Amino acid sequence: MDSILSGLKAVVDTLGATVLLPIVIFIIALVLGAKAGKAFRAAVTIGVAFIGINLVLGLMLGAIGDTAQAIVKNTGIQRDIIDVGWPSAAAIAFGSSVGLWVIPIGIAVNIVLLLTRMTRTLNVDVWNFWHFAFIGSLATAATGSLAYGLVAAALMAALALLFADWSARAVQKFYGVPGVSVPHLASAQILPIAIVVNWVLDRIPGINKIEINNETIERRLGVFGEPIILGLIIGLVLGLIAYYNAGDAGTVISKVLQTGMTLAAAMLLLPRMVKILMEGLLPVSEAAHEFVRKRAGDRELLVGLDSAILIGHPAAISSSLILVPIAIVLSIILPGNRVILFADLAVIPFIVAMTAPVLRGNVFRMVIVGTITLTAGFYVANALAPLFTSAAVASGFTLPANAVQITSVVDGFLWISYVVIAAIQNFAVVGLGVLALIIGLCFWLYRRNTEAWERAAGADDVESEA
């Protein structure tokens, strides 16, 4: 059995998300009844779209990462908990004892919840099952028990589906991605925070009138408010902060202009890549609708995808770029903080993208919610760093030089990670049982109050599922 699981994990690791996803999509489209030719074209189109998204993301995140690291260098920050980035976290998760089991566990949880009508999301984003394995690996490190880790991973797989269903209507409406949901824990975990903070901000006189979104920016600033020009301006400002002391005037000007143009390109190209993705998803969505209609009437089936499809919106990019220097300032001023951000500063877009539907793309509110989330995340990271480091060592990860402990924004900053580990450490089996009951109760409450929950998530005029 272990050899089979090892082989499966090796295939996932070797193919990577951009190859694995089209294969999974092709198989699913055939199962759903799509014609082979149409299924094949759809799968290839989706794969091409994700390659395009990843290329643009690589361009953008590389620019943000380099800029952020230059800002960190300028501040002279010294900390002993090092942010090693999400690729390292993913490698640790898949390299752990839980990582061996996480793919069959994630698939099994999804199938059971689909068959029992507890979810309507079919999660094809198999690569990102590493998020479940990561929390499971922390649970194993905390208790020394693989069983605890496997149960924790299964609960996270279920929770991801709950978040995906809950936010689906809002995500589809705001981002224009029909038939899709986002079972991505690193992005979805901000949803309840955004709802609560939005409720509070609505009740603060003056603050509740501030509206800064893409439409108001374009209306008031004209051509300077267009996404491509806005990306250029924000990039130039960040570049000046990062590279003002990078060398002679020519070097500084070159680096600043390159940063500005890179972020301008990202603002223009990301939404276009997402449109190509939607072109590929349409035949799969239609096949899913027809498949379900024949067997279950009007019940809906959603395709669960990576939150990379969300971050091309101007509000998501703009708020993320503003949050980069804010995150660096927080790492300096927060009392008791030992974390220095480094590799994962560039993934802030993934952290805040899900707030856009809840906050109607209001960049001002997105920055506030992002700041609150990051502030809490620093303390979560400080608390979980010992377990993160233990899990890394157990999976064979080599710690960076001068690092006493390690963390990452994804998933070391997530409140979900902290809640799960705290429950296990303090209450063991009872803690896991309580978590399972809470997640089950949330599923039940969501199904009974679908319209209210989805409206809170930013969806208007939604219809309850039959």
pLDDT exceeds 50 at position 464 = no
118-127, 294-303, 433-442 — which one is most confidently predicted on average? Answer: 433-442
Whole-number pLDDT of residue 91? 81
Whole-number pLDDT of residue 77? 72
466: pLDDT confidence band, cut at 50, 70 and 90?
very low
User: Higher confidence at residue 382 or residue 82?
Assistant: 382
**CA–CA separation, 5 and 411 (whole Å):** 24
pLDDT exceeds 80 at position 450 = yes
Rounded mean pLDDT, 285-291:
71
Whole-number pLDDT of residue 200? 95
Rounded mean pLDDT, 187-200:
94
Are 352 and 318 spatial neighbours (Cβ–Cβ below 8 Å)? no
15: pLDDT confidence band, cut at 50, 70 and 90?
low
User: Higher confidence at residue 67 or residue 4?
Assistant: 67
Rounded to the nearest 10 degrees, what angle do helices 17-31 and 249-296 cross at? Answer: 20
> What's the mean pLDDT when you consider all of the chain?
84
Whole-number pLDDT of residue 414? 92
* pLDDT 10s digits, 149-191: 999 999 999 999 999 999 999 999 998 888 889 999 989 999 9
| Cis peptide leading into residue 411 (ω within 30°) | yes
* pLDDT 10s digits, 18-77: 777 788 778 878 887 888 888 888 888 888 887 887 787 777 767 777 777 787 777 777
197: pLDDT confidence band, cut at 50, 70 and 90?
very high
Are 349 and 384 spatial neighbours (Cβ–Cβ below 8 Å)? no
Are 52 and 276 spatial neighbours (Cβ–Cβ below 8 Å)? yes
58-72, 171-185, 342-356, 394-408 — which one is most confidently predicted on average? Answer: 171-185
**CA–CA separation, 200 and 205 (whole Å):** 10
**CA–CA separation, 131 and 410 (whole Å):** 8
Nearest to 236 by CA among 251, 220, 257: 257
